[in-house]
A and B are shown apart, each in its own frame.
Chain A
Amino acid sequence: MKISAEKKSGNGNRVILVKRTSPNSDPEREKNLFQELRELARAAGYLPVGELTQTRFPDSRYQLGRGKIEELAELVRSTGTEKVIFFNRLSTIQLFNISEMCGCQVIDKFQLILEIFAKRATTHRSRLQVELARLKYEVPRARAVVSLLKKEERPGFMGLGDYEESYEQDLKKRITRIEDELESAEKDNESLRAFRHRKGFSIISLAGYTNAGKSTLFNAIVNESAEVKDMLFTTLVPTTRALDLGGRKALLTDTVGFIEDLPHWLVDAFKSTLNEIFLSDLILLVVDVSEKPEIILQKLSTAHDTLWDRIQGVPIITVLNKTDLLDESELATIMEQIGYMAPNPVFVSAKAGTGITALKAEIIKHLPPWSFYSLSLPNSEKGMSILSWLYEEGIVHRVEYGEGITVDYESRTEIIKRAQALIKTEEILNNAKATE
């Protein structure tokens, strides 16, 4: 029996969703988590035909009680299900036991997320990331998987050691290779980011829980048409577009959404994607405000948890999206409840296009400050070429042509420093020519 998550999924396959709930947990929250599992299954292209829950502490062999697993096996047979999806993380032994009993493939929530990522991965880098995440998930299970599958078999005379060892070693080698390759891709990205900064672009990224409407907002701000769906993880590959904010150029990046309990190995695997968020100048944290306050808080908490130690003081604007679904008094009540988790809130309806101007104003307010400076350029061919370069890199407020050219200029400090250096070199050259 195949018990790894390698098989390609989806295409309307019938599945049963199963969840174990710990005693004395919050029932409302558990209900929401189950709803999230349903949406994840839908995003992976499955058709849930049955659901099963049990409240108990985990069983080491079956996760649920044995009786409940027998019930599950019966349900699998009667509905003709091809796969069982568990909300809870399953150990290798549990996976093996349950799939033996049910006679179909069994996966847990993390494998399901991996399947979604694998389906949506379109670029070389995202395929590598998915492969890395899958390998990292498999390593701790490698020994157990092999020993379960080859219970009786052992390498005989002159065999080169155990199967378990070699499979684990193989996985580890592949992990190192992929990490090396991703690292070089990350370096390319870093140099691209540095290049954009040098060119005077500020980098803004959209972050938020999955299905908060980040892509819709992205489209509304940059007038683009990135794929938008009412589905979890529609965006996996970051998309970047230029944005003109009253003369200041910025780059806006649409990124992958967060999800609760995202395990470390998955966050690590998608590090290079998430870096787009962590290393930006400004973060727009998108929140679906039409949901219940408790759910909004839970999702904000997940976002804060992912961000807090990685962003090093980067300003955050909370974009409260989908305001068209609520009236003003409802919005005020929600703000009262979630205000302590929402820095610099702005109300927006990305779909209806309201609030975008206010959002842009807020973005300008929080971008790294530009300096004002008065520059005197020589009125020469070289001086004119510096001036046209200044037009490209920042905002020219006033130009006066006389013996020299006086420019009132606003830009990043680095650009002004470079302009001053250029002017100085030009002056030295002119003086040298004059003395000749």
Chain B
Amino acid sequence: MWDIIAVDISGRHRIKGGYYMVCAAVTLTVSANHIEKIKQIKIQPLWLKRAPSLLDIVQLIEDTADQLSFEGTIVTEKGDMYNRPIWVLESMFSRAFKYQESIAERRAIELVHHISLSARNLLINELQIEA
């Protein structure tokens, strides 16, 4: 069993006034096909006037992961990182990085996707952001 930080970002489409993104990061202990333990969840919103670049995305993920008290390999979906090859991203992160592969990692991404999506919906409602 080993620790991963599953990350997902919601809201990468343009709304009135720019891009309102919410990044969620979860530290979990996983085996090959099961999530064994969920340790901590952190959420970080970001307003951008312009379309996010790869660097913005990496920075947002790093900022969210920094709030976690546990370490692990960052795992994301390929599409979240603009389908860039793994070696490009490995050199951009301060932690170990990989794309989702195993059943457990995919399940973790599914979980974190729902967290970021519902957190963004909540924030948009509470802050009365025009979507």
Contacts and interface: CB of A to CB of B under 8 A. Distances in A.
Interface of A: 24-26, 297, 300-301, 304-305, 307-309, 316, 318, 339-343
B15 interface: no
Given A341-B32, A343-B32, A305 B106 contact: yes
Contacts of B71: none
A342 B32 contact: yes
B106 A309 contact: yes
Contact of A304 (B34, B85, B102, B110): B102
A342 B107 CA distance: 16
Contact of B33 (A25, A305, A343): A343
Contacts of B103: 304, 307-308, 316, 343
Given A297-B101, A308-B103, A343-B31, 19 more contacts: A24-B85, A25-B85, A26-B85, A300-B101, A304-B33, A304-B101, A304-B102, A304-B106, A309-B110, A316-B32, A316-B33, A340-B2, A340-B32, A340-B102, A341-B32, A341-B102, A342-B32, A343-B33, A343-B103
B91 to A, nearest CB: 13
Interface in B18-44: 31-34
Interface residues of B, number: 12
A369 to B, nearest CB: 18
A308 B34 CA distance: 10
Contacts of A297: 101
A308 B101 contact: no
B101 A341 contact: yes
A301 B34 CA distance: 15
Contacts of B31: 343
Contacts of B32: 316, 318, 339-343
The 3 A-B residue pairs with the shortest CB-CB distance, nearest first, are A343-B32, A308-B103, A343-B33
Interface string B95-126: 00000011100110010000000000000000
